[in-house]
Structure 1
Amino acid sequence: MTFSIVGRCAETGQLGIAISSSSIAVGARCPWVRGGIGAVSTQNITLPALGPEILDLLEQGASASEALDKALTTHGFSQFRQVTVIDHHGATALFTGSEALGLHNAVAGEQCVAAGNLLSSPQVIEAMVAAFEGSAGEALPDRLLAAMNAAMAAGGEAGPVHSAAMSVVSDLLWPIVDLRVDWAEHDPIGELGELWTAYRPQMQDYITRALDPTKAPSYGVPGDE
Protein backbone atom coordinates (compact mmCIF):
# COMPACT_ATOMS: atom_id res chain seq x y z
CA MET A 1 0.00 0.00 0.00
CA THR A 2 2.97 2.35 0.63
CA PHE A 3 6.68 2.65 -0.03
CA SER A 4 8.99 5.44 1.05
CA ILE A 5 12.54 6.58 1.63
CA VAL A 6 13.91 8.95 4.26
CA GLY A 7 17.37 10.32 3.56
CA ARG A 8 20.05 12.82 4.45
CA CYS A 9 22.55 14.68 2.29
CA ALA A 10 25.95 14.41 3.95
CA GLU A 11 27.21 17.50 2.07
CA THR A 12 24.41 19.94 2.94
CA GLY A 13 22.83 18.36 6.02
CA GLN A 14 19.43 18.51 4.33
CA LEU A 15 16.88 15.88 5.35
CA GLY A 16 14.02 14.60 3.24
CA ILE A 17 11.43 12.00 2.43
CA ALA A 18 9.68 10.74 -0.66
CA ILE A 19 6.66 8.46 -0.45
CA SER A 20 3.95 6.92 -2.61
CA SER A 21 0.79 4.95 -1.87
CA SER A 22 -2.28 3.37 -3.38
CA SER A 23 -4.27 5.52 -0.92
CA ILE A 24 -5.32 9.11 -1.49
CA ALA A 25 -3.23 12.02 -0.15
CA VAL A 26 -0.36 10.04 1.39
CA GLY A 27 1.47 13.32 1.94
CA ALA A 28 -1.17 14.42 4.44
CA ARG A 29 -0.54 11.58 6.89
CA CYS A 30 2.78 9.80 6.52
CA PRO A 31 5.84 12.06 5.92
CA TRP A 32 7.26 14.20 8.73
CA VAL A 33 10.43 16.30 8.54
CA ARG A 34 12.02 18.93 10.74
CA GLY A 35 15.11 20.92 9.82
CA GLY A 36 18.19 20.04 11.88
CA ILE A 37 16.27 17.26 13.65
CA GLY A 38 15.21 14.38 11.41
CA ALA A 39 12.74 12.76 9.04
CA VAL A 40 10.12 10.11 9.79
CA SER A 41 7.76 8.02 7.70
CA THR A 42 4.84 6.45 9.55
CA GLN A 43 2.98 4.05 7.26
CA ASN A 44 1.09 0.74 6.85
CA ILE A 45 -1.90 1.29 9.21
CA THR A 46 -0.87 4.90 9.71
CA LEU A 47 -0.79 6.73 13.02
CA PRO A 48 0.19 10.30 12.05
CA ALA A 49 0.96 11.22 15.69
CA LEU A 50 4.09 9.05 15.58
CA GLY A 51 5.83 11.45 13.19
CA PRO A 52 5.82 14.64 15.29
CA GLU A 53 6.28 12.70 18.53
CA ILE A 54 9.42 10.99 17.25
CA LEU A 55 10.76 14.32 15.99
CA ASP A 56 10.07 15.89 19.40
CA LEU A 57 12.00 13.08 21.09
CA LEU A 58 14.91 13.50 18.69
CA GLU A 59 14.94 17.22 19.43
CA GLN A 60 15.07 16.42 23.15
CA GLY A 61 18.21 14.33 22.62
CA ALA A 62 16.93 10.79 22.15
CA SER A 63 18.65 8.56 19.61
CA ALA A 64 16.73 7.46 16.53
CA SER A 65 16.14 4.00 18.05
CA GLU A 66 15.13 5.39 21.43
CA ALA A 67 12.69 7.85 19.91
CA LEU A 68 11.09 5.18 17.73
CA ASP A 69 10.78 2.67 20.58
CA LYS A 70 9.29 5.19 23.01
CA ALA A 71 6.71 6.50 20.54
CA LEU A 72 5.60 3.01 19.57
CA THR A 73 5.34 1.91 23.20
CA THR A 74 3.34 4.99 24.18
CA HIS A 75 0.56 4.34 21.69
CA GLY A 76 0.39 0.55 21.51
CA PHE A 77 -0.84 -1.36 18.45
CA SER A 78 2.74 -1.40 17.21
CA GLN A 79 2.07 -4.66 15.36
CA PHE A 80 0.14 -2.60 12.77
CA ARG A 81 2.83 0.04 12.19
CA GLN A 82 5.74 0.47 9.83
CA VAL A 83 7.99 3.39 10.73
CA THR A 84 11.38 4.64 9.54
CA VAL A 85 13.55 7.35 11.11
CA ILE A 86 16.71 9.25 10.24
CA ASP A 87 18.23 11.91 12.48
CA HIS A 88 20.34 14.95 11.59
CA HIS A 89 23.55 12.95 11.97
CA GLY A 90 22.34 10.23 9.58
CA ALA A 91 21.65 7.63 12.28
CA THR A 92 18.64 5.47 11.40
CA ALA A 93 15.97 3.28 12.96
CA LEU A 94 13.24 1.14 11.43
CA PHE A 95 10.33 -0.98 12.56
CA THR A 96 7.80 -3.22 10.83
CA GLY A 97 5.04 -4.81 12.90
CA SER A 98 3.85 -8.38 12.56
CA GLU A 99 0.56 -7.23 11.01
CA ALA A 100 2.20 -5.31 8.16
CA LEU A 101 0.25 -5.74 4.95
CA GLY A 102 1.30 -8.18 2.23
CA LEU A 103 4.92 -8.53 1.21
CA HIS A 104 6.96 -5.98 3.15
CA ASN A 105 10.54 -4.99 3.69
CA ALA A 106 12.62 -2.27 5.35
CA VAL A 107 16.32 -1.65 4.66
CA ALA A 108 18.76 0.86 6.14
CA GLY A 109 21.50 2.14 3.85
CA GLU A 110 24.12 4.87 3.90
CA GLN A 111 22.29 7.99 5.13
CA CYS A 112 18.88 6.52 4.25
CA VAL A 113 16.13 4.06 5.14
CA ALA A 114 13.57 2.66 2.71
CA ALA A 115 10.48 0.66 3.60
CA GLY A 116 7.26 -0.58 2.06
CA ASN A 117 4.30 -2.91 2.38
CA LEU A 118 2.00 -4.65 -0.09
CA LEU A 119 5.01 -4.78 -2.40
CA SER A 120 5.36 -6.73 -5.61
CA SER A 121 8.59 -8.13 -4.10
CA PRO A 122 10.98 -7.35 -1.23
CA GLN A 123 13.61 -6.37 -3.80
CA VAL A 124 11.70 -3.13 -4.43
CA ILE A 125 13.09 -1.71 -1.20
CA GLU A 126 16.61 -2.91 -1.89
CA ALA A 127 16.44 -1.14 -5.27
CA MET A 128 15.47 2.11 -3.55
CA VAL A 129 18.46 2.03 -1.23
CA ALA A 130 20.82 1.18 -4.08
CA ALA A 131 19.49 4.08 -6.17
CA PHE A 132 19.86 6.55 -3.31
CA GLU A 133 23.38 5.44 -2.48
CA GLY A 134 24.34 5.37 -6.15
CA SER A 135 23.29 8.99 -6.71
CA ALA A 136 25.53 10.53 -4.02
CA GLY A 137 26.61 14.02 -5.02
CA GLU A 138 23.29 14.93 -6.61
CA ALA A 139 20.71 17.21 -4.98
CA LEU A 140 18.72 15.45 -2.27
CA PRO A 141 15.34 15.78 -4.05
CA ASP A 142 16.85 14.18 -7.15
CA ARG A 143 18.22 11.31 -5.06
CA LEU A 144 14.86 10.74 -3.37
CA LEU A 145 13.09 10.69 -6.73
CA ALA A 146 15.73 8.35 -8.15
CA ALA A 147 14.88 5.93 -5.35
CA MET A 148 11.15 6.19 -6.06
CA ASN A 149 11.67 5.58 -9.77
CA ALA A 150 13.91 2.62 -8.98
CA ALA A 151 11.12 1.20 -6.84
CA MET A 152 8.67 1.39 -9.72
CA ALA A 153 11.20 -0.13 -12.11
CA ALA A 154 11.62 -3.04 -9.68
CA GLY A 155 7.88 -3.67 -9.58
CA GLY A 156 6.55 -1.15 -7.06
CA GLU A 157 3.44 -2.10 -5.14
CA ALA A 158 1.33 -5.15 -5.77
CA GLY A 159 -1.37 -2.80 -7.11
CA PRO A 160 -1.49 0.69 -8.65
CA VAL A 161 -0.22 3.73 -6.75
CA HIS A 162 -2.34 6.90 -6.71
CA SER A 163 -0.57 9.51 -4.57
CA ALA A 164 2.97 10.68 -3.89
CA ALA A 165 4.78 13.35 -1.92
CA MET A 166 8.25 14.74 -1.30
CA SER A 167 9.49 17.09 1.42
CA VAL A 168 13.01 18.39 2.08
CA VAL A 169 14.22 20.61 4.92
CA SER A 170 17.41 22.57 5.52
CA ASP A 171 18.30 24.79 8.48
CA LEU A 172 15.21 26.96 7.96
CA LEU A 173 11.99 26.66 9.94
CA TRP A 174 9.97 25.61 6.89
CA PRO A 175 10.48 23.01 4.15
CA ILE A 176 12.42 24.19 1.13
CA VAL A 177 10.58 21.53 -0.91
CA ASP A 178 7.06 20.37 -0.10
CA LEU A 179 5.35 18.84 -3.14
CA ARG A 180 2.32 16.54 -3.30
CA VAL A 181 0.24 14.63 -5.81
CA ASP A 182 -2.85 13.78 -3.78
CA TRP A 183 -4.52 11.66 -6.47
CA ALA A 184 -3.59 10.49 -9.94
CA GLU A 185 -5.10 7.67 -11.91
CA HIS A 186 -1.71 6.91 -13.44
CA ASP A 187 1.92 7.56 -12.44
CA PRO A 188 1.79 9.93 -9.43
CA ILE A 189 5.55 9.54 -9.05
CA GLY A 190 6.01 10.81 -12.59
CA GLU A 191 3.76 13.78 -11.79
CA LEU A 192 5.77 14.43 -8.65
CA GLY A 193 8.92 14.49 -10.75
CA GLU A 194 7.32 17.04 -13.08
CA LEU A 195 6.42 19.22 -10.11
CA TRP A 196 10.03 19.11 -8.93
CA THR A 197 11.28 19.99 -12.40
CA ALA A 198 9.02 23.05 -12.39
CA TYR A 199 9.82 24.04 -8.81
CA ARG A 200 13.58 23.48 -8.81
CA PRO A 201 14.56 26.71 -10.69
CA GLN A 202 12.30 28.77 -8.40
CA MET A 203 13.22 27.18 -5.06
CA GLN A 204 16.02 29.58 -4.12
CA ASP A 205 13.94 32.58 -5.22
CA TYR A 206 11.21 31.68 -2.73
CA ILE A 207 13.81 31.39 0.02
CA THR A 208 15.22 34.80 -0.94
CA ARG A 209 11.75 36.37 -1.02
CA ALA A 210 11.07 35.09 2.49
CA LEU A 211 14.36 36.14 4.06
CA ASP A 212 14.84 39.50 2.31
CA PRO A 213 11.82 40.88 0.40
CA THR A 214 13.95 43.75 -0.96
CA LYS A 215 15.82 41.19 -3.06
CA ALA A 216 12.70 39.33 -4.18
CA PRO A 217 12.69 38.58 -7.92
CA SER A 218 9.67 39.55 -9.98
CA TYR A 219 7.51 36.92 -11.62
CA GLY A 220 5.47 39.38 -13.68
CA VAL A 221 2.15 38.88 -11.90
CA PRO A 222 -0.11 41.90 -11.15
CA GLY A 223 1.33 43.93 -8.29
CA ASP A 224 4.63 42.06 -8.37
CA GLU A 225 7.18 44.63 -9.43
Structure 2
Amino acid sequence: MKRSQYAVIGLGRFGSSLAKELIELGYEVLGIDKDEEAVDEMSEKLTHVVVADSTDEEVLRSLGIRNIDCAIVAIGDDIQSSILTAILLKDIGVKQVVAKALSELHGKVLQKIGVDRVIYPERDMGIRVAHQLVSPNLLDYIELSKDYTIAELTVPKRLCGRSLRELDTRAKYGCSVVAINKKNSVIIAPTASDTLDDQDIMVIIGTNQQIELFENEVRR
Protein backbone atom coordinates (compact mmCIF):
# COMPACT_ATOMS: atom_id res chain seq x y z
CA MET A 1 0.00 0.00 0.00
CA LYS A 2 1.37 3.40 -1.01
CA ARG A 3 2.25 5.63 1.93
CA SER A 4 0.87 9.17 2.03
CA GLN A 5 3.12 11.96 0.80
CA TYR A 6 3.28 15.27 2.65
CA ALA A 7 4.46 18.76 1.80
CA VAL A 8 5.40 21.14 4.60
CA ILE A 9 5.51 24.76 3.47
CA GLY A 10 7.43 26.93 5.91
CA LEU A 11 10.37 25.32 7.70
CA GLY A 12 10.48 27.40 10.85
CA ARG A 13 10.37 25.83 14.30
CA PHE A 14 6.88 24.41 13.93
CA GLY A 15 7.19 23.34 10.29
CA SER A 16 10.59 21.69 10.66
CA SER A 17 9.52 19.85 13.83
CA LEU A 18 6.37 18.58 12.09
CA ALA A 19 8.29 17.55 8.97
CA LYS A 20 10.94 15.63 10.94
CA GLU A 21 8.28 13.79 12.93
CA LEU A 22 6.50 12.75 9.71
CA ILE A 23 9.83 11.39 8.44
CA GLU A 24 10.29 9.50 11.73
CA LEU A 25 6.85 7.96 11.19
CA GLY A 26 8.01 6.66 7.81
CA TYR A 27 6.39 9.12 5.39
CA GLU A 28 7.84 11.01 2.44
CA VAL A 29 8.05 14.75 3.04
CA LEU A 30 8.68 17.61 0.63
CA GLY A 31 9.91 20.70 2.49
CA ILE A 32 9.44 24.15 0.94
CA ASP A 33 10.73 27.49 2.19
CA LYS A 34 11.90 30.71 0.56
CA ASP A 35 14.73 30.98 3.11
CA GLU A 36 17.82 29.22 1.77
CA GLU A 37 19.29 28.74 5.25
CA ALA A 38 16.15 26.97 6.49
CA VAL A 39 16.23 24.70 3.43
CA ASP A 40 19.94 23.90 3.85
CA GLU A 41 19.36 22.97 7.48
CA MET A 42 16.68 20.43 6.51
CA SER A 43 18.32 19.17 3.30
CA GLU A 44 19.52 15.86 4.77
CA LYS A 45 16.54 15.32 7.06
CA LEU A 46 13.62 15.31 4.60
CA THR A 47 12.88 13.38 1.40
CA HIS A 48 13.12 16.52 -0.77
CA VAL A 49 13.69 20.15 0.15
CA VAL A 50 13.45 23.17 -2.17
CA VAL A 51 13.90 26.92 -2.00
CA ALA A 52 10.69 28.30 -3.48
CA ASP A 53 8.06 31.02 -3.21
CA SER A 54 4.84 29.23 -2.29
CA THR A 55 2.72 32.20 -3.45
CA ASP A 56 3.79 31.54 -7.06
CA GLU A 57 1.30 29.14 -8.67
CA GLU A 58 3.64 28.11 -11.48
CA VAL A 59 6.36 27.19 -8.98
CA LEU A 60 3.94 25.04 -6.97
CA ARG A 61 2.70 23.28 -10.09
CA SER A 62 6.28 22.64 -11.26
CA LEU A 63 6.97 20.92 -7.92
CA GLY A 64 4.13 18.48 -8.58
CA ILE A 65 2.24 19.70 -5.52
CA ARG A 66 -1.05 18.41 -6.95
CA ASN A 67 0.15 14.83 -6.41
CA ILE A 68 0.79 15.41 -2.71
CA ASP A 69 -1.76 13.79 -0.37
CA CYS A 70 -1.58 16.49 2.27
CA ALA A 71 0.03 19.94 2.26
CA ILE A 72 0.65 21.75 5.55
CA VAL A 73 1.01 25.53 5.40
CA ALA A 74 3.30 26.21 8.36
CA ILE A 75 4.40 29.73 7.39
CA GLY A 76 5.48 31.45 10.58
CA ASP A 77 4.81 35.18 10.53
CA ASP A 78 3.49 36.24 7.13
CA ILE A 79 -0.31 36.00 7.20
CA GLN A 80 -0.67 37.20 3.62
CA SER A 81 1.68 34.51 2.28
CA SER A 82 -0.09 31.88 4.40
CA ILE A 83 -3.49 32.78 2.98
CA LEU A 84 -2.29 33.09 -0.63
CA THR A 85 -0.49 29.75 -0.39
CA ALA A 86 -3.59 28.03 1.02
CA ILE A 87 -5.77 29.48 -1.77
CA LEU A 88 -3.34 28.25 -4.44
CA LEU A 89 -3.13 24.76 -2.92
CA LYS A 90 -6.93 24.48 -2.93
CA ASP A 91 -7.14 25.81 -6.51
CA ILE A 92 -4.47 23.40 -7.73
CA GLY A 93 -6.42 20.51 -6.24
CA VAL A 94 -4.30 19.23 -3.36
CA LYS A 95 -6.34 16.50 -1.63
CA GLN A 96 -5.97 17.88 1.88
CA VAL A 97 -4.77 21.30 2.97
CA VAL A 98 -3.89 21.95 6.61
CA ALA A 99 -2.80 25.41 7.75
CA LYS A 100 -1.30 26.90 10.88
CA ALA A 101 -3.17 29.99 12.12
CA LEU A 102 -1.41 32.81 13.94
CA SER A 103 -4.64 34.23 15.39
CA GLU A 104 -8.38 33.54 15.61
CA LEU A 105 -9.02 36.00 12.76
CA HIS A 106 -6.36 34.34 10.58
CA GLY A 107 -7.99 30.99 11.33
CA LYS A 108 -11.44 32.27 10.31
CA VAL A 109 -10.06 33.47 6.97
CA LEU A 110 -8.39 30.09 6.36
CA GLN A 111 -11.69 28.32 7.07
CA LYS A 112 -13.55 30.67 4.72
CA ILE A 113 -11.23 29.83 1.83
CA GLY A 114 -11.83 26.10 2.34
CA VAL A 115 -8.77 24.88 4.26
CA ASP A 116 -9.57 21.34 5.44
CA ARG A 117 -8.09 21.78 8.90
CA VAL A 118 -6.85 24.85 10.79
CA ILE A 119 -4.43 24.33 13.67
CA TYR A 120 -3.41 26.72 16.43
CA PRO A 121 -0.15 25.31 17.87
CA GLU A 122 0.57 28.13 20.35
CA ARG A 123 -3.02 28.43 21.60
CA ASP A 124 -3.54 24.67 21.90
CA MET A 125 -0.24 24.16 23.72
CA GLY A 126 -1.13 26.99 26.10
CA ILE A 127 -4.47 25.35 26.90
CA ARG A 128 -2.84 21.96 27.49
CA VAL A 129 -0.15 23.37 29.75
CA ALA A 130 -2.72 25.33 31.78
CA HIS A 131 -4.79 22.21 32.39
CA GLN A 132 -1.69 20.23 33.37
CA LEU A 133 -0.63 22.94 35.85
CA VAL A 134 -3.96 23.06 37.69
CA SER A 135 -4.57 19.29 37.62
CA PRO A 136 -1.71 17.28 39.18
CA ASN A 137 -3.09 13.96 37.91
CA LEU A 138 -3.60 15.22 34.36
CA LEU A 139 -0.86 14.07 31.97
CA ASP A 140 -2.37 15.24 28.70
CA TYR A 141 -5.45 17.07 27.47
CA ILE A 142 -6.68 17.30 23.89
CA GLU A 143 -9.82 19.12 22.80
CA LEU A 144 -11.54 16.91 20.20
CA SER A 145 -14.31 19.41 19.48
CA LYS A 146 -16.18 22.25 21.16
CA ASP A 147 -18.03 19.67 23.23
CA TYR A 148 -15.64 16.77 23.78
CA THR A 149 -12.21 16.35 25.27
CA ILE A 150 -9.89 13.39 25.72
CA ALA A 151 -7.64 13.38 28.78
CA GLU A 152 -5.02 11.15 30.40
CA LEU A 153 -5.20 10.84 34.19
CA THR A 154 -2.82 8.97 36.45
CA VAL A 155 -4.54 6.58 38.84
CA PRO A 156 -4.19 7.81 42.45
CA LYS A 157 -3.45 5.32 45.21
CA ARG A 158 -6.99 5.55 46.59
CA LEU A 159 -8.37 4.03 43.37
CA CYS A 160 -5.85 1.18 43.13
CA GLY A 161 -7.49 -2.23 43.07
CA ARG A 162 -10.89 -0.84 42.14
CA SER A 163 -12.70 -2.00 39.02
CA LEU A 164 -14.30 0.20 36.39
CA ARG A 165 -17.64 -1.22 37.54
CA GLU A 166 -17.01 0.26 40.98
CA LEU A 167 -15.97 3.62 39.53
CA ASP A 168 -18.99 3.69 37.19
CA THR A 169 -17.74 6.92 35.60
CA ARG A 170 -20.42 6.97 32.89
CA ALA A 171 -23.34 6.89 35.33
CA LYS A 172 -21.77 9.17 37.97
CA TYR A 173 -19.95 11.72 35.83
CA GLY A 174 -21.02 11.14 32.21
CA CYS A 175 -17.46 10.45 30.96
CA SER A 176 -16.03 7.11 29.81
CA VAL A 177 -12.72 5.31 30.35
CA VAL A 178 -11.79 4.24 26.80
CA ALA A 179 -8.34 2.80 27.57
CA ILE A 180 -6.04 1.92 30.46
CA ASN A 181 -2.31 2.30 29.90
CA LYS A 182 -0.55 -0.22 32.16
CA LYS A 183 3.20 -0.69 32.73
CA ASN A 184 3.65 -3.30 29.99
CA SER A 185 0.43 -3.14 28.00
CA VAL A 186 -2.54 -1.05 26.96
CA ILE A 187 -6.15 -2.17 27.43
CA ILE A 188 -8.30 -0.68 24.68
CA ALA A 189 -12.06 -0.51 25.38
CA PRO A 190 -11.71 -1.97 28.90
CA THR A 191 -14.59 -3.94 30.41
CA ALA A 192 -16.34 -3.27 33.71
CA SER A 193 -14.28 -6.02 35.38
CA ASP A 194 -10.89 -4.46 34.52
CA THR A 195 -9.14 -3.10 37.60
CA LEU A 196 -6.84 -0.14 38.16
CA ASP A 197 -3.31 -0.50 39.50
CA ASP A 198 -0.72 1.94 40.82
CA GLN A 199 0.90 3.99 38.01
CA ASP A 200 -1.83 3.08 35.51
CA ILE A 201 -2.99 5.86 33.22
CA MET A 202 -6.69 6.21 32.39
CA VAL A 203 -7.65 7.62 29.00
CA ILE A 204 -11.02 9.34 29.44
CA ILE A 205 -13.41 10.94 26.96
CA GLY A 206 -16.18 13.35 27.87
CA THR A 207 -17.05 17.02 28.08
CA ASN A 208 -14.73 19.41 29.93
CA GLN A 209 -17.24 19.61 32.78
CA GLN A 210 -17.61 15.82 33.08
CA ILE A 211 -13.86 15.25 33.14
CA GLU A 212 -13.39 18.06 35.65
CA LEU A 213 -16.03 16.51 37.95
CA PHE A 214 -14.31 13.14 37.78
CA GLU A 215 -10.85 14.65 38.23
CA ASN A 216 -12.01 16.55 41.34
CA GLU A 217 -13.36 13.29 42.76
CA VAL A 218 -10.04 11.55 41.99
CA ARG A 219 -8.10 14.26 43.84
CA ARG A 220 -10.10 14.00 47.07
Q: Which has the higher helix share?
A: 2
**Does the pair score TM above 0.5?**
no
Q: Give the TM-score normalised by structure 1.
A: 0.31
Considering Cα pairs closer than 8 Å and 6+ residues apart, tell me whether 1 or 2 has the greater RCO: 1
Q: Give the TM-score normalised by structure 2.
A: 0.31
